[in-house]
Amino acid sequence: MEHALRALLGDDGVLPGTTRAYLTDATESRNIRGRADAVALPRDAAQVRDTVAWCYKHDVPITPRGGGSGFTGGAVPLDGGVVLSLERLAGPPQLEPERWRAHVPAGVTTAELSRRAREEGLLYAPDPGAAEQSQLGGNIATNAGGPHTFKYGVTGTWVTGLELVLAPGELISIGGPVRKDVAGYDLKSLIVGSEGTLGIVTAAWVKLLPAPEAQLPVVAFFPDVETGCQALTTIMASGLVPAALEYLDEIAVAHAIRAFPGEAPRDPAFMLIAEADGSVPEAQRLRAELLEAMAPGALATHAPEQRGEIRELWRWRSGVSLAVISVRGGKVSEDIVVPLEYLAEAIIATREIGARHDLPACSWGHAGDGNLHSTFMIDLEDPAEMHRSEQAAEDLFSLAVRLGGSVSGEHGLGLVKRGALAQQWPGPAVALHESIKRLFDPKGLLNPGKKVANR
């Protein structure tokens, strides 16, 4: 197989299937690792097409791979075959600043796209957690969100066109630089979030926005979950529109607080981070209103105004996940969503589920979107704990479905949640889902074993 791929991609375009870095993703933190026969590193979209065509002809499974920062094992090859990494499709994004848009190869990192946009005074709004590592293609495959999704929407909101390879080996475009298009069914949105199971994105047109002049976060610490969630309700009922609305529960705060770049009260049970953005006067006005809305019942507030302090705060927020991993060496972290009115209930239930399975648990995440990162901290060396954490995750999914929510708000299903969709969707919708998969991928070779609706 390596030999055949070298003929297509050149010697530098193929690595041995045993190359460890390509056999896992962020699920390394729960000991997940796959097996591949070869790693393909196509240089351009035509080589992606040729690789897919070769694999499709020879019945070889294809596991597409972006930056490998996913939490669901979506990029983990299960049963051999080819890992197809898009990392070399990384030519710089082509920005058209006056038209608020860019054409971006799939392998460009999220951080690189954001930086280039900023250099032109523009904002690429999606801000998933591992921006230096994740790539636009992977963000599209998972329809990635982030803290600022609350105001700005998920990745798909910003994609107007896709270039992609379909089975059995066709390179096509859907959409483009146009801002509106209702001529066909929305195939673009069908591909976005399909986790490499319907086609492989090689480039995208994305919309940009003028960057807000100011971004002013407001942090508040609370004595309990209810008071904190009440502040969230007050913000929304007051008609304030923060750019982000994040929370940490008691245990998440406890594990991360030592590095907090500011003063924090002793043992808060809940933390809320809101951000005001816009023109300088607008962001300042909103900052003041957020402070007023969040102060009642708060133990303390913290609202940095210096650029350096603000950057430190968000850097600290990005580090929460690592701080939680470091407690016991591993974690199982899910991304359930619930209707807003059940946020407090889901936060409390996460801890209860942990207790029931004898696992320390915590949660943090995107409060304004009702999107929790419900997490069990585990010892990777203890198989019994690993097993209990899987059962705990199942309980989380049942909780989300029972509350009218979703088993996944931003990570997708990948390997670790495959089959979970059938809990949440009615039978006819699940059947259509599976039929659509067969339509796009009749041989079942595109990221096999991932995102399947039925287990």
Distance in Å, CB of 182 to a copy of itself, minimum:
5
Interface with a copy of itself, residue 288, by CB under 8 A = no
Q: Is 233 in the site for a copy of itself (CB under 8 A)?
A: yes
Of residues 378, 405, 447, 450, which one binds a copy of itself by CB under 8 A?
Answer: 405
Q: Following DSSP, what letter does each residue of 321-376 receive, concatenated?
A: HHHHHHHHSEEEEEB-B--GGGHHHHHHHHHHHHHHTT--EEEEEEGGGTEEEEEE
By CB under 8 A, which span of 29-37, 230-238, 251-259, 315-323 interacts with a copy of itself?
230-238
Instruction: Select the residue interacting with a copy of itself from 189, 230, 301, 318 (CB under 8 A).
Output: 189
Query: Which H or E run contains 300?
Result: strand 300-302
Is 198 near a copy of itself (CB under 8 A)? yes
Min dist. Cβ of residue 219 to a copy of itself (A): 22
DSSP 189: H
Judged by CB under 8 A, the number of residues near a copy of itself is 87
Closer CB to a copy of itself, residue 328 or residue 433?
433
Q: Give bridge partners of residue 209 from the DSSP assignment.
A: 123
Segment lying near a copy of itself (by CB under 8 A), choices 16-24, 94-102, 350-358, 387-395: 94-102
Name 119's Cβ contacts closer than 8 Å, sequence gap at least 6: none
Burial class (CB in 10 A: 0-12, 13-18, 19+), 154: buried
- 433 exposed, middle or buried (CB, 10 Å; 0-12, 13-18, 19+)? middle
Does 48 interact with a copy of itself (rule: CB under 8 A)?
Answer: no
**Residue 179 makes contact with a copy of itself by CB under 8 A:** yes
Two tokens at 331? 């974690």
User: In a 3-state reduction of DSSP, which class is residue 265?
Assistant: coil
Closest contact distance (angstroms) between CB of 31 and a copy of itself is 24
C-alpha span between 100 and 140 (Å, rounded): 19
Find the part of the chain contacting a copy of itself (CB under 8 A) among 13-21, 26-34, 258-266, 338-346.
338-346
- Residue 212 beta carbon to a copy of itself: minimum distance, rounded to whole angstroms: 10
Binder among 11, 98, 263, 308 for a copy of itself (CB under 8 A): 98
Selected binder of a copy of itself within 224, 282, 390, 395 (CB under 8 A): 282
The least distance separating a copy of itself from the CB of residue 281, rounded to whole angstroms, comes to: 6
Largest Cα–Cα distance of the chain, in whole Å? 67
Picking from 33, 36, 31, 34, the residue whose alpha carbon sits closest to that of residue 15 is: 36
Per the DSSP assignment, residues forming a β-bridge with 448 are: none
46 scored as a contact of a copy of itself (CB under 8 A): no
Binding pattern to a copy of itself, positions 104-123, x when CB under 8 A?
-----------------x--
Give yes or no for residue 97 binding a copy of itself (CB under 8 A).
Answer: yes
In contact, 256 and 237? CB cutoff 8 Å: no
Task: Give 171-175's long-range contacts (Cβ < 8 A, gap of 24+).
Answer: 171/45, 171/46, 171/48, 171/49, 171/202, 175/205
Under rule CB under 8 A, residue 417 binds a copy of itself = yes
| C-alpha–C-alpha distance, residues 139 and 58, integer Å | 29
Nearer to a copy of itself, 41 or 407 (CB): 407
Binding segment (CB under 8 A) for a copy of itself, from list 132-140, 269-277, 300-308, 403-411 = 403-411
Asked whether position 421 contacts a copy of itself by CB under 8 A, the answer is yes
Q: Which of residues 70-89 bind a copy of itself (CB under 8 A)?
A: none
